[in-house]
Amino acid sequence: MARSSNQKEKILFLMRLFHEETDAMHPLSRKQLEEKLLEYGIQAERKSLYNDIETLKKFGMDIAYRKERPEGYFLQSHEFELAELKLLVDAVQSSRFITESKSNSLIRKIESMASKYEAKQLQRQVVVANRIKAMNESIYYNIDKIYASIASNQQILFRYFEWTIEKTTRLKKGGEPYQVSPWALTWDDENYYLIGYDVDAGILKHFRVDKMLDIETLGEPRVGKEEFGRFDLAHYTKKTFGMFGGEEETLRIRFHNKYIGVVIDRFGKDVSVRPDGEESFTARVDVAVSGQFFGWLTGLGKDVRILSPVYVADMYLDFLKEITGAYDSGE
């Protein structure tokens, strides 16, 4: 039996109906609205229903009436457009730092921002299963703790692990905690990194957030402000490959013209380049020289050559010889 005592709740349920069950292609007629409200135990008279719709419109809901079939009332614009929600879903499902279970949970919440009909289009985009994802479920909360510590200007304490050949984790520093002043979070190569001042080492370091355990906020104020003030985060992530540090050096590298897009994607549109013959160009770039950088260079093949400094070109040649030597040895 319908409960007239629920009249005060009617406008709230009506708001839910517009959010969840209507869009431009799926309006609800007055009769359908009355029937659906009745399912919640709420009777709605025609005049009161019209008044409630007008109240919601004055409140800011973009409710429109569709005259052609299917005829009825619908929420013309949700808080997020469908294209925007698809973009959010893509970002969540492709982010390696978010675990599979947390990805599914976030996507379900994103779907709730659309009508149930539009949500089906989001579901067709979801391909989370079997994607390589972070395995540390606490990363989601680690990020929140780090941001809170940055906002409150406090140091943090945490333990840090690495993987072993047996696919088990091993605590670094023998399990001793790191005391760090957090200054920034950056997302690089599909992972979140903390940029912080290591109190014991007395230098700025970066840490993979998904490898941080048992984060505690200390009552001590952050230190290392001057060091971080001299730190250019954008420049750091641009010159560091896979967040592997190394000796910073300015290199001149010759690339085939077909790699101009690759170079701009990696070093930015302001990278210094000049033509070098009809089919090549030379780029001047700041790089943290590391095996990770050499690996990136190797992936571009024979149409790339380090011109200077010579010692870095020699290091790269030795890097390649070590790789080929591993195959020549037959081991």
Residues 219 and 149 in one domain: yes
Q: Please tell me which residue, 137 or 1, carries the higher pLDDT value.
A: 137
Token reading at 213: 């355990």
Position 68 in a domain: yes
Domain assignment present for residue 88? The answer is yes
Q: From residue 324, how far is each of 179, 312, 313, 319 by CA, in Å? A: 42, 19, 17, 9
Nearest in space to 28 (alpha carbons), one of 73, 78, 75: 73
Look at residues 2, 208, 21, 252 and name the one whose alpha carbon lies nearest to residue 97. 208
Residues 6+ apart with CB under 8 A from 241: 287, 288, 290, 292, 293, 295, 296
CATH assignment of the domain containing 162: 2.30.30
Q: What's the whole-number mean pLDDT along residues 259-275?
A: 83
DSSP 8-state assignment for residue 176: P
- The three-state secondary structure class of 44 is coil
User: Could you tell me what percent of the chain has a pLDDT over 90?
Assistant: 31
Q: Is residue 134 part of a domain?
A: no
Distance of CA 30 to the CA centre of its chain: 42
pLDDT in the model for residue 3 = 47
Asked which of 230, 263, 279 is the last residue of a domain, the reply is 230
**155-198 pLDDT per residue, tens:** 999 999 888 767 678 899 999 999 999 998 887 766 788 989 99
Cα–Cα separations (whole angstroms), residue 37 to 2, 3, 31, 55, 61 = 9, 11, 10, 17, 18
Are 246 and 292 within one domain?
A: yes
Contact criterion met (CB below 8 Å) for 212 and 140: no
Instruction: Please check whether residues 264 and 211 belong to one and the same domain.
Output: no
Residues 244 and 318 in one domain: yes
Judge whether residue 238 has pLDDT over 60: no
Residue 57 belongs to a domain: yes
319 is a domain residue: yes
Least confident piece of the model among 237-251, 265-279, 307-321: 237-251
Residues 252 and 286 reside in one and the same domain: yes
Same domain, 66 and 94: no
Q: Is the pLDDT of residue 120 over 60?
A: yes
Q: Which two tokens stand for residue 277?
A: 């013959």
**Cα–Cα distance for residue pair 132/130, rounded to 1 Å:** 6
By CB atoms closer than 10 A (0-12, 13-18, 19+), residue 216 is middle
Domain count within the chain: 4
**260 plus 221 within the same structural domain:** no
User: Does residue 132 sit within a domain?
Assistant: no
Query: Which residue range is the domain that position 312 belongs to?
Result: 237-328
> To which residue do tokens 């299963």 refer?
129
Last residue of a domain, one of 90, 123, 156: 123
Select from 45, 46, 56 the least CA-distant residue to 18.
Answer: 56
Count Cα neighbours of 135 within 13 Å in the Cβ-side half-sphere: 8
Residue 273 lies in a domain: yes
Specify the pLDDT at position 178.
96
Residue 237 has a pLDDT of: 60
Shared-domain flag, residues 249 and 315 = yes
Residue 283 lies in a domain: yes
